[in-house]
Structure 1
Amino acid sequence: MNQTETKPSWFCSRLNVGQKIVVGFLVVALFSLAAILFALIHIQQQVNISGDLVHRDFKALNLVRDLRTNLLAQERLEQQFLILKDAELLVLLKQRNQEFDTLWSSLLKLELDEVTALKQPATALLAERDNAIALLTAQKTRKAGAFFSERLAPLRTTFYEGLDEISKNRQELIDISLLDLNQLSIRAYRTTLVLLILGLAIGGVVAFRVVRSINHSIQRLALAARQASEGRFDFSLGSFGRDEFGHLASEFLTMGKKLLDLQKRLLDANPLTHLPGNLAIEHELERRIVSLEPFAHIYIDIDNFKAFNDRYGYQMGSEVIARVGKLAKEVVEELGNQEDLVGHIGGDDYLLLSTPEKSERLAKEIIARFDKMTDIYTQEDLDNSYYDGVDRFGDERRYPLMSISIAVICSENLEYPTHQDISQECAKMKEHLKNLPGSNYLIDRRRR
């Protein structure tokens, strides 16, 4: 393996240990200041939202509640006066009217859209209310009673409905504002925390590198890095700087490449079955081909899986995919070799790499266990051994229950085995197997 020399960064090559410490503290200070400014900005936004809630929305709800209470009190006093004709009741009624005017004026000052729409009904209500007071003052109770029911009551009903609409809208806006306030608080908290942690982390890295500036500590860390990367290399990365950190940087670069390779392997694993994916399969297959190690390439495919997925839903389909992967892994662990590979190509396709003498028994056992997975069907479909569905062309078809097809190719039958040749031959064998009823396996014993 050839290694090119990496050009050192300005920070590593131009700054001494003391300067790096200063830079580290400046970074911490910068991120801390950014976190404080960000927090202050969001606090101001929260204050603005809270101010709107207190001085507008909550106030509007309180005024609407007081207006409803006032109107109800007016109605009770009017009815009592019609019966008792007590002058003190009329005085109380006029006081309630004055309180209503004050409340309505306060609500108008909030300049809410819903209140603007209620101005016309309110004006009519106030005018008719004054006429009603005039009738009561003149002791025309009979005429006043008719006036209340025919003129004043409908106006009050309209006004009540308007108040209900205002209350409903304000409550919805309050709920939205409270939700925004909560989300804003969460976002501010998380971002501030990230900025602080990031600043402390960067400063901590600088401090860590300075503390480890002693040559003996650097050598020990270099050895740990080599061990962590699971390999020893006899090449030099060259100088990364003028101080002792250059050697440490080169060792971490080596470890980073190893970790990157490991990460790729982990990302390649199928998230549903957690089995190795295409990269791992290709790597292992190529290794066996190059080493001339006899192997059996066992390709597994679920027949009629799409029809099953369409009928039972993707969640049940995903469960079948996971169970088949687990089934194949268990069979290989029980009957295969310790170094055998169980991989998931994708979808309903799997691949096993074993030895030729194990291949047939593995195929038979996988088919036997798969055919026993009857709990994935409804009893009706199980009794019928089929179900109706629609194919990719939109035509109705009758599909049998799922089966499994296994194509086996042994490397010892191929003079010059290649990944491409094996894949093409497996595709042909798979098409042949899919035309057969039930679950089947086929071992290509031809020599070529």
Structure 2
Amino acid sequence: MRLSISLKILSGYLILAVFLVAASWHALSYLHRVSETSQTILNQSVQATTAIGGMQTAMSSLEQCADIYPESPSPGILNLFQFYRRQFEQGLLRVSLAPVDGRRLEDLRASYARYLEQFELQIELVGTGRVLEAKNRAATVLGPQAGHIQGLLDTLHLAAQRTLDAELISLRGFSSGVSTAVFFTSLFGVLCGLAAVILTALQLNGGIRKLKEATFMVGKGNFDLNLGLRTGDALEDLARCFEVMAQKLKMSEQLCLDASPLTYLPGNIAIERALTDRIKRDVRFALCYIDLDDFKAFNDHYGYARGSEVIKAVADLLAVVRGEVGGENDFIGHIGGDDFVVITDDERAEDICAHIIQRFDALIPDFYSEEDRARGYIIGVDRYGQTRQFPLMTISIAVVSDARRDIHSPAEIARVAAEIKDYVKTRPGSNYHIDRRQRPR
């Protein structure tokens, strides 16, 4: 049976009920304020900070699309632009629900609207063959406008972070108020000589001390909280609220650090989390492990800057394919280097692989010089120090599905994907292979 703090005190202090109820109410009011503040931090400040970070990433991607479009005016680029536009506008909606600077938010909306208008004009210029004018507008109009928007986002992000810090400081102040209220309640119980009140006060003080320590830990960036409060009352609920808030902050920080700075795609932590979530929920899926063949030779021959362009182009290609034939919940991740993953439904995996290969084979020759493209290979040094010919890059995709077998961990998926990838890379050209081996479920 769960007893509130008031009932615990009243059960041992019926004679002095009036005094104890007053003192307990004072303590509970502070606890309620702490609980409300922690909920506000979780539902508003943390959400605002995360949303602004996502808008910064989306804006960078929109800017890249605007830069690329005059040179490559394809529907794929426009689809990609619309995809990141939706991400930006979803983030803008979430930020508008949080307590942020209204003036800057309106400035951001107006600047973003102007940016979209300028991009529409750029589309018209390209459509009428005025490509050079479109390129000039990208450099002189769209670029500065995007920079202004990023500046506004940086300001909003800093303000949101300051608000979060201020709320954490306020939370510590609330905790100190709780300690004071409970101290006087404990003192009154000691004076009255009632052991029940003393025990209750000690329990409260211990819990509040843990909450106060947890507040300082979160403020210093330590989000691994295990308060261990099992009081069966509002204090336990508040402790759980703290732990949930800390884990969400930790997840937000990890995702920001884990994302690839080159492609802005989620990294290994997010990939493992997405796989583990599907395994736990028993959701059938297929993982497409994507690897570029002879990328190192290309990178050595043309330089890392050109290699980075290929990596970014593959990331954009995957986003376009997801928009064309993927599902709403499909996941794209960047393991690192030239390795990517796409997590999708089993029935869509083959179609996605085919589209990726088709687009990649059409795209990759443009990254080679005219001479190398006509020759069909480049000259390079392999890992054994031998000079040899390397063909134009191809792409290999290993598909691991749990449609015919149970998969129990991301490590098992990685092992099977490595086996299939080694097999696919032995075949010439761009290829994919779906693991169709069966195992009793």
TM-score interval for Structure 1 and Structure 2 normalised by the shorter chain: 0.3 to 0.5
TM-score in terms of structure 1 length: 0.47
